[in-house]
């Protein structure tokens, strides 16, 4: 078990370093950063001054390791635009994004798990087909469009929910629902498939032969085994939601990390952009490791006993 | 001896209504994409400010000249919709080709060779999955300016993971089958085995993935265009149309409903067709 | 005194569009304190018969019987809830694949105690004690340790012993064993069979053992019923069956088993020509007629049930 964790940690570190390299290269794509920072009306002297001030005259490799070294200690540099530490900026915006992501995940699970279980129990009935159709529809729905429609219906016409800002918990409902929509089809299908397979297995036949109650067979025996892949995918979906929140935050004017990244791209604020990419990647890697550990907890066979 | 459930199952593949609906939708979209210049009643780029924001035919005050009304610059909506279809389909297909080439190559190499090469492929996939796709795509377009070729290459470089995963797992399954061992023993070269034995057997799975990827690419492009960093205006992308209409959506909701519905229907159609193909080929993902 | 389990005319059908009759007519009786073997080749319907007794068939299966009685009570009309109160309690079943028949997510102990706590009102302590007792009884050493282990930590033979112990938790009177040794190594097979025979004797169980192995039948069965293509074609006490088989299929089966010492060096091994036919709906007559040396025109219609002794009957036109 320990060996497994150590190996995963090493892979995680390597992935992080690779992503850092890519993020670094990403921001250097447009050529000379000094020109972009100095602005359109800068003279050559201005550009040279900028280059010196931001350390952009050093070889790329040096700049890269400088960044890596600082990032390892939590220092992600300073924002060109906001004139504050990047880590502080991200720290301020992160709660909004995390709340949004978790709201989305909770809604998604609350919807997909029961739907998936019921669809599996009533396999091939009209209810099951309806659930599959709903999953299909959800998969085709463009999230930003759904967000706008919800805004019109619930925000404007019905006036139930606020359409922008992050003032109250109600502000997270509509964006949370939109995020959930992207995860519900996959989670429902997975739960359904897992339950169908679980219920067709030999140990369920044994459970029936033991005369256990229907509820016990379904929830204690079948679900426990079916949940294993679902839990793992749920963690990964949360990672995707956090990474993809940029669109939703823009639509609903939620000032989270995604919104910050969006603003920074507009303003060529490179330290922020590359740091946000890094932070999101680290979160994703951490979530997949969490998913692996939960797998081991749920499935005794993986514990190496 | 186990006793399996034998009940009347749902109709699958070409016998399912869903597959036909999907095929028809995709067919119409392909038709629009190919023959767009011939189909449009007006030039989709021609602005006509005096006639801006005209309503579509199902509302009062509509004009037969502009069946779906006009947008905020007076451009014919139907024309922009059809051209938008062409853009979406083109981007969807080209991105899938690029990502398919990358992903299939990596996946087949990893699955077939195993060992260190496979470890490297898995590492590449894991790294790719950790990268927030929308954010990176936005950053690239934001830094280098939006253009169609750049968009296609960027999305293609970011979307190959599912191709790689499916290609790898199916290749691993096929590699272990007896006829591959037989070919190996008969002295066939690796290349020959790959092209004659492996690829034909994994092709059906990959076609299914390709349809799914086309749909995903279309949705992704729409999101990027919605944020203003996708297809360069004045090219009519549906995502861009929704973004442009956002300011008017509270007064004239149909401006966002039409392109959004078009997106939804197209993606749904592609998914239905893809599901139908998957059931037809028996290619449930491994 | 009614028998423990009485079955007459059991029929099981699957599928709606083109229904397959897995069992077309099974009749036999299992008494308390006897080991009754149901023997036949793969696909003859013996497992389906066993599952249908406890109504464990999958959705979409239809069961009919002229008589299906357990301790005198009719099983046919029982709801699933009523049936589940009998299962694991007064009648229990063990299966062929010990590797997959236990839930990998729960410990052996918890899977055993939940049966007892479901049917009888005992606390966890008492249930655990009984589980440990039974594990010892089925020959497992260090039962306390095993109770806390997970199924994947046990070998196939151990798992099957656990299954047997688990089946006995509520002191059932009928134990149905569906090919319990088929998936095990040969040496373990013998041990498990010996264990079953001992338990049956000590606890006075009625044991219904499903198998395709005539060797097993010879070793532990009191009575035998032979199944072919969904029907019980012959039913007799073991000694009678082996000494004087009446049905041509049974005779053919016994000829197929090479007996060391009796078979000559150049003698060809016995076999039954042909294959088991697919039985569609509306099939009439004897299913064995195409492979039988004694078949005639009447075999395509009805086949009479003959008696060759008070406890020996068979389905054939040939006289006893």
Tens digits of pLDDT across chain B (286 residues): 333 333 344 556 567 788 888 899 999 999 888 887 877 777 777 777 777 777 777 777 777 777 777 777 778 888 888 888 999 999 999 999 999 999 999 999 898 888 899 999 999 998 998 888 888 898 888 888 888 898 999 999 999 999 999 999 888 888 888 777 787 778 777 777 777 777 888 888 898 899 999 999 999 999 999 988 888 877 888 988 888 888 877 777 778 888 899 999 999 999 999 888 888 776 554 3
Contact B237, B219 (CB under 8 A): no
Cα–Cα distance for residue pair C190/C202, rounded to 1 Å = 18
pLDDT digits (tens, 9 = 90+) for B126-185: 899 888 888 889 888 888 888 889 899 999 999 999 999 999 988 888 888 877 778 777
Helix axes of A2-27 and B133-144: crossing angle, nearest 10 degrees: 20
Name residue, tokens 């002794």: C309
Q: Do C150 and A301 touch (CB under 8 A)?
A: yes
- Nearest C-alpha of chain B: how many angstroms from C97? 9
Q: Do B6 and C43 touch (CB under 8 A)?
A: no
Contact B132, A244 (CB under 8 A): yes
Query: Which residues from A are below 8 Å from C80, CB to CB?
Result: 214
Which of A178-187, B252-261, C170-179, C199-208 is predicted with the least confidence, judged by mean pLDDT? B252-261
Query: Which residues from A are below 8 Å from B276, CB to CB?
Result: none
Backbone angles phi, psi at B185, to 5 degrees: -65, -30
Query: Which residues from C are below 8 Å from A206, CB to CB?
Result: 95, 101-103, 163
pLDDT of residue C129: 93
Q: Do B138 and A265 touch (CB under 8 A)?
A: yes
Query: Which residues from B are below 8 Å from A149, CB to CB?
Result: 256-257, 260
| Torsion, CA B32, CA B35, CA B41, CA B46, rounded to 10 | 100
Query: Which residues from C are below 8 Å from B7, CB to CB?
Result: 15-16, 59-60
Q: Which CATH superfamily is domain C3-79+173-315 in?
A: P-loop containing nucleotide triphosphate hydrolases (3.40.50.300)
Q: Do C85 and A299 touch (CB under 8 A)?
A: no
Nearest CA in chain B to A25: B140
Q: What is the percent of chain C where pLDDT is above 90?
A: 38
DSSP state for residue A155 in the 8-state scheme:
I
Query: Which residues from A are below 8 Å from C93, CB to CB?
Result: 209
Q: Which chains would you list as touching A if contact means 3+ CB atom pairs under 8 Å? A: B, C
Distance of CA A107 to the CA centre of its chain: 15
pLDDT digits (tens, 9 = 90+) for A179-197: 999 899 999 999 999 999 8
Which residues, in sequence order, are bridge partners of residue C93? C176
In order of A14, A138, A267, the CA distances from A271 in angstroms are 21, 36, 11
Q: Do B1 and C61 touch (CB under 8 A)?
A: no
Candidates A196, A210, A295: best to mutate against C (most CBs of C within 10 A) is A210
Query: Which residues from C are below 8 Å from B10, CB to CB?
Result: none
Cα–Cα distance for residue pair B139/B146, rounded to 1 Å = 11
Cα–Cα distance for residue pair B136/B143, rounded to 1 Å = 10
Q: Which chains would you list as touching C if contact means 3+ CB atom pairs under 8 Å? A: A, B
Contact C165, C108 (CB under 8 A): no
Residue range(s) occupied by CATH 3.40.50.300 in chain C: 3-79+173-315
Residue B99 token pair: 């990502």
pLDDT of residue B286: 38
Instruction: Report the pLDDT averaged over residues A212-229.
Output: 88
Helix (H) or strand (E) holding C26: strand C20-30
Most confident of A1-15, B70-84, B213-227, C281-295: B213-227
Nearest CA in chain B to C183: B1
Is domain B24-282 classified as CATH 3.40.50.12780? no
Q: Is A293 left (phi over 0), alpha (psi -120 to 50) or beta?
A: alpha
CB under 8 Å, gap of 24 or more: what pairs does C127-133 form? C130/C169, C131/C165, C131/C169
- Nearest C-alpha of chain A: how many angstroms from C25? 24
Question: pTM of the entire structure?
Answer: 0.82
B10 touches chain C (CB under 8 A): no
pLDDT of residue B265: 94
pLDDT of residue C41: 84
pLDDT of residue C168: 93
Residue A58 token pair: 């050093």
Name residue, tokens 């992050």: A166
pLDDT of residue B3: 33
Candidates B2, B4, B5, B6: best to mutate against C (most CBs of C within 10 A) is B6
pLDDT of residue C132: 94
pLDDT of residue B215: 93
The complex's ipTM? 0.86
């Amino acid at each position: 078990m320990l060996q497994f964790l150590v190996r995963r940690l090493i892979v995680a570190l390597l992935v992080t370093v690779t992503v850092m390299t890519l993020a670094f290269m990403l921001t250097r794509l447009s050529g000379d950063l000094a020109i972009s920072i100095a602005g359109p009306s800068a003279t050559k002297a201005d550009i040279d001054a900028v280059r010196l001030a931001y350390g952009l005259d050093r070889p790329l490799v040096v700049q890269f390791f400088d960044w890596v070294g600082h990032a390892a200690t939590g220092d992600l540099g300073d924002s060109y635009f906001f004139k504050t530490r990047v880590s502080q900026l991200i720290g301020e915006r992160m709660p909004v994004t995390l709340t949004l992501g978790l709201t989305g995940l909770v809604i998604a699970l609350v919807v997909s798990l029961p739907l998936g279980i019921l669809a599996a129990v009533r396999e091939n009935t009209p209810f099951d087909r309806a659930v599959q159709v709903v999953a299909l529809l959800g998969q085709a729905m463009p999230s930003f469009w759904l967000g706008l429609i919800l805004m019109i219906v619930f925000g404007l016409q019905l006036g139930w929910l606020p359409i922008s800002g992050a003032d109250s918990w109600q502000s997270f409902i509509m964006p949370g629902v939109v995020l959930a929509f992207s995860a519900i089809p996959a989670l429902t299908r997975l739960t359904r498939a897992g339950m169908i397979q679980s219920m067709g297995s030999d140990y369920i036949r044994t459970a029936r032969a033991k005369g256990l109650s229907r509820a016990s067979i379904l929830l204690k025996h079948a679900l426990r085994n079916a949940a294993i892949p679902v839990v793992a995918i749920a963690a990964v979906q949360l990672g995707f939601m956090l990474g993809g929140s940029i669109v939703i935050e823009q639509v609903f004017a939620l000032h989270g990390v995604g919104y910050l990244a969006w603003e920074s791209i507009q303003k060529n604020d490179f330290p922020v952009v590359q740091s946000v990419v890094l932070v999101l990647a680290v979160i994703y890697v951490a979530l997949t490791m969490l998913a692996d550990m939960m797998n081991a907890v749920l499935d005794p066979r993986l514990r190496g006993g | 001896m186990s006793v399996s459930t034998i009940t009347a199952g749902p109709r699958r593949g070409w016998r399912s209504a869903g597959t036909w609906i999907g095929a028809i939708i995709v067919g119409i979209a392909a038709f629009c994409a190919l023959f767009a210049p011939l189909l449009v009643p007006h030039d989709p780029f021609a602005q006509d400010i005096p006639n801006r924001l005209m309503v579509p035919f199902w509302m009062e005050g509509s004009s037969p000249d502009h069946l779906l009304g006009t947008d905020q610059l007076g451009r014919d909506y139907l024309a922009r919709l059809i051209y938008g279809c062409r853009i979406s389909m083109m981007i969807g297909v080209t991105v899938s080709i690029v990502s398919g080439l990358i992903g299939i190559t990596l996946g087949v190499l990893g699955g077939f060779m195993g060992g260190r090469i496979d470890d490297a492929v898995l590492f590449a996939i894991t790294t790719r999955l950790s990268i927030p796709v929308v954010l990176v795509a936005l950053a690239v377009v934001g830094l280098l300016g939006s253009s169609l070729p750049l968009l296609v290459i960027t999305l293609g470089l970011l979307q190959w993971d599912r191709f790689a995963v499916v290609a790898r797992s199916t290749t691993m399954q096929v590699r272990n089958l007896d006829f591959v061992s037989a070919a190996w023993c008969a002295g066939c070269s690796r290349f020959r085995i790959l092209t004659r034995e492996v690829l034909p057997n994994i092709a059906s799975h990959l076609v299914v993935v390709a349809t799914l990827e086309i749909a995903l690419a279309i949705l992704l492009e729409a999101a990027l265009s919605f944020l203003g960093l996708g297809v360069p205006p004045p090219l009519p992308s549906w995502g861009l149309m929704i973004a442009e209409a956002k300011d008017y959506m509270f007064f004239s909701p149909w401006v966002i409903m039409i392109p959004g519905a078009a997106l939804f229907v197209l993606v749904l159609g592609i998914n239905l067709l893809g599901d139908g193909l998957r059931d037809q080929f028996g290619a449930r993902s491994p | 005194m009614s028998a423990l389990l009485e079955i007459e005319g059991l029929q099981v059908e699957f599928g709606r569009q083109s229904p397959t009759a897995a069992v077309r007519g099974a009749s036999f009786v299992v008494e308390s304190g006897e080991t009754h073997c149901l023997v036949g080749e793969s696909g003859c319907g013996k497992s389906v018969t066993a599952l249908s007794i406890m109504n464990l068939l999958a959705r979409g299966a239809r069961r009919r019987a002229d008589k299906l009685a357990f301790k005198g009570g009719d099983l046919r009309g029982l709801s699933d809830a009523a049936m589940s109160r009998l299962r694991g309690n007064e009648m229990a079943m063990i299966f062929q694949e010990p590797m997959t028949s236990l839930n990998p997510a729960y410990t052996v102990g918890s899977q055993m105690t939940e049966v007892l706590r479901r049917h009888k009102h005992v606390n966890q302590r008492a249930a655990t004690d009984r589980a440990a007792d039974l594990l010892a009884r089925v020959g497992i050493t260090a039962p306390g340790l095993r109770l806390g282990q997970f199924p994947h930590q046990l070998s196939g033979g151990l798992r099957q012993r656990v299954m047997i112990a688990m089946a006995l938790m509520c002191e059932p009177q009928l134990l149905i064993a569906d090919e319990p040794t088929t998936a095990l190594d040969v040496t373990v097979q013998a041990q498990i069979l010996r264990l079953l025979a001992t338990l049956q004797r000590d606890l006075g169980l009625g044991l219904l053992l499903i198998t395709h192995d005539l060797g097993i039948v010879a070793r532990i069965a009191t009575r035998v019923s032979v199944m072919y293509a969904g029907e019980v074609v012959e039913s007799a006490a073991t000694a009678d069956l082996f000494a004087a088989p009446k049905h041509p299929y049974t005779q053919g089966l016994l000829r197929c088993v090479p007996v060391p010492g009796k078979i000559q060096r150049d003698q060809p091994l016995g076999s039954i020509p042909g294959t088991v036919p697919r039985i569609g709906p509306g099939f009439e007559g004897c299913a064995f007629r195409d492979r039988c040396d004694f078949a005639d025109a009447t075999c395509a219609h009805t086949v009479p049930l003959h008696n060759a002794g008070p406890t020996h009957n068979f389905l054939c036109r040939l006289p006893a």
